[in-house]
Protein backbone atom coordinates (compact mmCIF):
# COMPACT_ATOMS: atom_id res chain seq x y z
CA UNK A 1 0.00 0.00 0.00
CA UNK A 2 1.23 3.48 -0.77
CA UNK A 3 1.37 6.23 1.87
CA UNK A 4 -1.46 8.15 0.17
CA UNK A 5 -3.67 5.01 0.31
CA UNK A 6 -3.49 4.45 4.08
CA UNK A 7 -7.14 4.42 5.28
CA UNK A 8 -8.43 7.32 7.35
CA UNK A 9 -11.87 6.23 8.65
CA UNK A 10 -12.50 8.48 11.67
CA UNK A 11 -15.44 6.67 13.27
CA UNK A 12 -13.59 5.56 16.41
CA UNK A 13 -10.72 8.02 16.43
CA UNK A 14 -12.47 11.32 15.71
CA UNK A 15 -11.35 14.09 18.08
CA UNK A 16 -8.71 11.86 19.72
CA UNK A 17 -4.97 11.64 19.54
CA UNK A 18 -5.10 7.85 19.19
CA UNK A 19 -4.11 6.44 15.83
CA UNK A 20 -3.06 3.11 14.34
CA UNK A 21 0.37 2.71 12.85
CA UNK A 22 0.46 1.15 9.40
CA UNK A 23 3.44 0.56 7.18
CA UNK A 24 3.26 1.82 3.64
CA UNK A 25 5.61 2.42 0.73
CA UNK A 26 6.64 6.05 0.23
CA UNK A 27 7.52 7.79 -3.06
CA UNK A 28 11.06 6.37 -2.83
CA UNK A 29 9.80 2.79 -2.55
CA UNK A 30 10.81 2.51 1.12
CA UNK A 31 8.59 1.35 3.95
CA UNK A 32 7.48 4.09 6.29
CA UNK A 33 5.32 4.15 9.43
CA UNK A 34 2.13 6.08 8.65
CA UNK A 35 -0.60 7.03 11.11
CA UNK A 36 -4.09 5.87 10.20
CA UNK A 37 -7.45 6.85 11.63
CA UNK A 38 -8.77 3.34 10.98
CA UNK A 39 -10.42 1.53 8.10
CA UNK A 40 -13.84 0.11 7.33
CA UNK A 41 -13.22 -3.63 8.02
CA UNK A 42 -11.72 -2.83 11.42
CA UNK A 43 -14.55 -0.40 12.19
CA UNK A 44 -17.13 -3.07 11.32
CA UNK A 45 -15.38 -5.61 13.54
CA UNK A 46 -15.32 -3.09 16.41
CA UNK A 47 -19.01 -2.34 15.87
CA UNK A 48 -19.84 -6.04 16.12
CA UNK A 49 -17.74 -6.45 19.26
CA UNK A 50 -19.31 -3.41 20.95
CA UNK A 51 -22.81 -4.63 20.02
CA UNK A 52 -22.06 -7.93 21.74
CA UNK A 53 -20.73 -6.13 24.83
CA UNK A 54 -23.81 -3.88 24.95
CA UNK A 55 -26.09 -6.91 24.70
CA UNK A 56 -24.25 -8.63 27.55
CA UNK A 57 -24.47 -5.46 29.65
CA UNK A 58 -28.23 -5.22 29.03
CA UNK A 59 -28.67 -8.82 30.24
CA UNK A 60 -26.61 -8.11 33.35
CA UNK A 61 -28.54 -4.86 33.97
CA UNK A 62 -31.78 -6.86 33.98
CA UNK A 63 -30.30 -9.27 36.55
CA UNK A 64 -29.21 -6.30 38.68
CA UNK A 65 -32.74 -4.85 38.51
CA UNK A 66 -34.16 -8.21 39.60
CA UNK A 67 -31.75 -8.29 42.55
CA UNK A 68 -29.84 -11.29 41.21
CA UNK A 69 -26.52 -9.49 40.73
CA UNK A 70 -24.74 -6.35 41.91
CA UNK A 71 -23.93 -3.27 39.83
CA UNK A 72 -20.28 -4.33 40.07
CA UNK A 73 -20.93 -7.13 37.57
CA UNK A 74 -22.45 -4.64 35.14
CA UNK A 75 -19.53 -2.24 35.41
CA UNK A 76 -16.99 -5.04 34.98
CA UNK A 77 -18.71 -6.12 31.77
CA UNK A 78 -19.05 -2.55 30.53
CA UNK A 79 -15.33 -2.00 31.03
CA UNK A 80 -14.48 -5.42 29.56
CA UNK A 81 -12.87 -6.54 32.81
CA UNK A 82 -12.77 -10.02 34.25
CA UNK A 83 -12.66 -10.81 37.95
CA UNK A 84 -9.03 -11.82 37.48
CA UNK A 85 -8.13 -8.50 35.89
CA UNK A 86 -10.01 -6.55 38.59
CA UNK A 87 -8.06 -8.47 41.20
CA UNK A 88 -4.81 -7.38 39.59
CA UNK A 89 -5.95 -3.74 39.44
CA UNK A 90 -7.22 -3.61 43.01
CA UNK A 91 -5.13 -6.11 44.93
CA UNK A 92 -8.33 -7.76 46.16
CA UNK A 93 -8.67 -11.53 46.03
CA UNK A 94 -10.70 -13.03 43.18
CA UNK A 95 -12.86 -14.85 45.70
CA UNK A 96 -13.67 -11.54 47.39
CA UNK A 97 -14.58 -9.87 44.10
CA UNK A 98 -16.82 -12.81 43.10
CA UNK A 99 -18.55 -12.47 46.47
CA UNK A 100 -19.15 -8.76 45.80
CA UNK A 101 -20.94 -9.64 42.57
CA UNK A 102 -23.81 -10.77 44.80
CA UNK A 103 -26.11 -7.92 45.91
CA UNK A 104 -26.21 -9.11 49.52
CA UNK A 105 -22.46 -8.56 49.93
CA UNK A 106 -22.08 -5.61 47.57
CA UNK A 107 -24.70 -3.62 49.50
CA UNK A 108 -22.67 -4.08 52.69
CA UNK A 109 -19.42 -2.70 51.26
CA UNK A 110 -17.77 0.19 53.04
CA UNK A 111 -16.74 3.41 51.28
CA UNK A 112 -13.09 2.38 51.18
CA UNK A 113 -13.78 -0.83 49.25
CA UNK A 114 -16.24 0.93 46.96
CA UNK A 115 -13.58 3.56 46.29
CA UNK A 116 -11.06 0.87 45.36
CA UNK A 117 -13.46 -0.53 42.76
CA UNK A 118 -14.45 2.92 41.50
CA UNK A 119 -10.84 3.98 41.08
CA UNK A 120 -10.00 0.82 39.12
CA UNK A 121 -13.01 1.40 36.86
CA UNK A 122 -12.34 5.16 36.63
CA UNK A 123 -15.84 6.04 37.75
CA UNK A 124 -17.29 7.63 40.88
CA UNK A 125 -18.56 5.60 43.82
CA UNK A 126 -22.08 6.81 43.03
CA UNK A 127 -21.77 5.55 39.45
CA UNK A 128 -20.47 2.21 40.76
CA UNK A 129 -23.54 1.80 42.98
CA UNK A 130 -26.02 2.39 40.16
CA UNK A 131 -26.75 1.52 36.56
CA UNK A 132 -26.62 4.19 33.88
CA UNK A 133 -29.98 5.45 32.71
CA UNK A 134 -30.98 4.32 29.22
Range 11-31 average pLDDT? 72
CATH code assigned at 91: 1.10.260
Helix axes 111-121, 83-90, angle to 10 degrees: 110
Q: Is the pLDDT of residue 119 over 80?
A: yes
| 36 against 66, higher pLDDT | 66
DSSP letter string, 60-96: HHHHHHTTSS-HHHHHHHHTT--HHHHHHHH---HHH
Residue 29 inside a domain? The answer is yes
Q: Is the pLDDT of residue 6 over 60?
A: no
Domain enclosing residue 107, as ranges: 46-128
CB neighbour list of residue 40: distance below 8 Å, 6 or more residues apart: 7, 9
| 69 lies in the same domain as 108 | yes
Q: Is the pLDDT of residue 76 over 80?
A: yes
Amino acid sequence: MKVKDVPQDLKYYKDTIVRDVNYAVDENGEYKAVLSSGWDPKTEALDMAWDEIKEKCEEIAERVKRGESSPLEYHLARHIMSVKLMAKYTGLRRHTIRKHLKPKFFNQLDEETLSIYAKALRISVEELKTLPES
